[in-house]
Structure 1
């Protein structure tokens, strides 16, 4: 989704490079390395490189708890980058990136997707949020969680290597109530699973919906994603109102172009949906079980991505707004329909939908959700 706000003021930074490096730490052929990535608002920005025994590499920075790259082999054993992102910190502050604002790999919060009219009512109080998408509120506001430096702690054991990122969001941040303490723990294991475990507490009732905004292209951006095959286990999507924002009504996908319960080429739907997908799919998961919700595969590379989640819904987004002028420093070209997102989360506009599951975190209760990306080739 496109953030229409010009955030160029955030490009006025003192940027650094790879000026320090900690030794690689290895556990059972799992390794973790920390390097300096830059500096933001006088805080050091680091890059964490996680590797497993199957030549899978995940790079994550504490700026926005952002996945900057995932590198895996193809069916011939050739390594390739399969996610959007940049190798230099300053690239996240280029004019083109700021104006397009595609949220490459970022952790989105406090509330993922759109809140209509940037407002909601809770416990008899009306709250006005930051308007950063016209009259609406998108992905936590102009200074959401993806634009802040998180505290970080590394994790290493026989099962996985990982990083736990933590952040405190004060009462009134972007208009939200409550002092919120939030964390996300990334874990990489030798099953080629990248797990994201989100936890949080607040001292006031507050909307909360966290997601990861990684864009995937399983053929390594050699072409667009239209030949990818998708299976998505959902019977309903959220119906948008006249403004394009969900109002809580569910629509069955059976016998429509939106039905991916059977594996099929995603590009076949573009004959009816020329701008691709920006659809919220709903899962039948009242008990918050970690269940498989998506299988995406690509034949030329032999790569497959499976997504598991405890969340009640996901946005399927095929990059309709991504600028064709964005590219990784090595020349890997991004652009419209060159990547897809599986943004597991609560319902879009959930604070204004009484039936939206778990969109409000109650005071002094625990937020606890997990999403897993599993790769194979």
Structure 2
């Protein structure tokens, strides 16, 4: 495990932590945005590549024009909040908007723009970096002072675990995710990859990605059916899928290198984005586990409310192997 300073933000040094499980799997994490900048994985021939999109330097992560949330921890609330507002206990809270009339990914100064504090941990079968942040009452319009943690843990059996935790001083809404762009080829585009999702339903949305009225729609007979491994060639996806059960979430493979990544999570669903509007289109695939879009305004969706005395806790596991 190593640590180095790579830039400066908020008048403090931005640190980069490198974790290595000793079996060829290594990750690098920035304290700026609690950002995952590298996941180094061997292919079937033993060649190691970084399988997440990485910006050229640490300063680029602070430039919104160059960084559409690449690898960052997104919060307080991932995805959209319609109208930039929600109501708790009869009180309407107005959020800082950054997507027209709406808020997306926590607002213009969300968790992806914050400098987190880090500490490391080593156990018999894992190494980890735990990043912490305090978001004050009213930050981006959200009620309650939120104490947040993001932990990246690398295990001896080739898993990367992302775990999130939060507590609050007042009733609020919470939904974190990671916004890494995955490319198991290590370069080029995601065309040639195959994707399978354990999802029988998806959340239909309007042109602003605000969910339409009604329950999630069945994927049967639609181009949203990824229950069997499907080549991504030419397919543009930007949608939220609802898991059929918690046995697994996603199975991404690159036949050219043999790399496979299986995702499991305790979250209710998954945002999938093929990066078609990224500055470098289709160079990575976002698999954003977490809460439903606009759940704070949709009582028919799984609740994202967090009360004082409760703990928000969720985890997602990425297991790497050769298929």
TM over 0.5, shorter chain? yes
Check the 8 A contact 1:100/1:322 in 2, yes or no.
no
Local SS of the residue matching 1:363:
coil
- Paired residues, number: 321
Uncovered stretches (5+) of structure 2, i.e. residues with no partner: none
Uncovered stretches (5+) of structure 1, i.e. residues with no partner: 1-31, 271-275, 324-334
Could you report, residue by residue, the CA deviation over 1:245-291 in whole angstroms, capped at 9, with x for unpaired residues?
114531100121111111121226x3xxxxx1111001245xxx5x3
* TM-score under structure 2 length normalisation: 0.96
Partner residue in 2 for 1:104: 70
Partner residue in 1 for 2:272: 316
The alpha-carbon deviation at position 86 of structure 1 amounts to 3.0
- The answer to whether the aligner puts 1:281 opposite 2:241 as a matched pair is yes
Instruction: Please report the RMSD computed on the Cα atoms of aligned residues, expressed in angstroms.
Output: 1.4
The alpha-carbon deviation at position 83 of structure 1 amounts to 0.7
Identify which of 302, 322, 328 aligns with 2:258: 302
Partner residue in 1 for 2:122: 156
Identify which of 270, 273, 285 aligns with 1:340: 285
Check the 8 A contact 1:204/1:364 in 2, yes or no.
no
Partner residue in 1 for 2:300: 355
Check the 8 A contact 2:62/2:113 in 1, yes or no.
no
The alpha-carbon deviation at position 100 of structure 1 amounts to 5.0
Q: How does 1:214-229 map to 2 (within 5 A)?
A: 214-221=180-187, 223-229=188-194
**Aligned partners of 1:76 and 1:374: how far apart in 2?**
18
Check the 8 A contact 2:198/2:244 in 1, yes or no.
no
Check the 8 A contact 1:47/1:60 in 2, yes or no.
yes
**Aligned partners of 1:242 and 1:316: how far apart in 2?**
16
Local SS of the residue matching 1:307:
strand
Could you report, residue by residue, the CA deviation over 1:191-214 in whole angstroms, capped at 9, with x for unpaired residues?
110101111111111110000000
Could you report, residue by residue, the CA deviation over 1:340-364 in whole angstroms, capped at 9, with x for unpaired residues?
0110010001101102213111222
Check the 8 A contact 1:69/1:86 in 2, yes or no.
no
**Aligned partners of 2:110 and 2:294: how far apart in 1?**
16
**Aligned partners of 2:202 and 2:2: how far apart in 1?**
41
**Aligned partners of 1:34 and 1:244: how far apart in 2?**
39
Local SS of the residue matching 2:83:
helix
* TM-score under structure 1 length normalisation: 0.82
Local SS of the residue matching 1:235:
strand
Could you report, residue by residue, the CA deviation over 1:47-78 in whole angstroms, capped at 9, with x for unpaired residues?
10011122111000111110011111111111
Change (3 A) 1:101 1:87: closer
Q: How does 1:132-281 map to 2 (within 5 A)?
A: 132-221=98-187, 223-241=188-206, 243-247=208-212, 249-267=215-233, 270=235, 276-281=236-241
Runs of 4+ residues deviating >3 angstroms: 241-244
Change (3 A) 1:319 1:242: closer
Check the 8 A contact 2:296/2:303 in 1, yes or no.
no
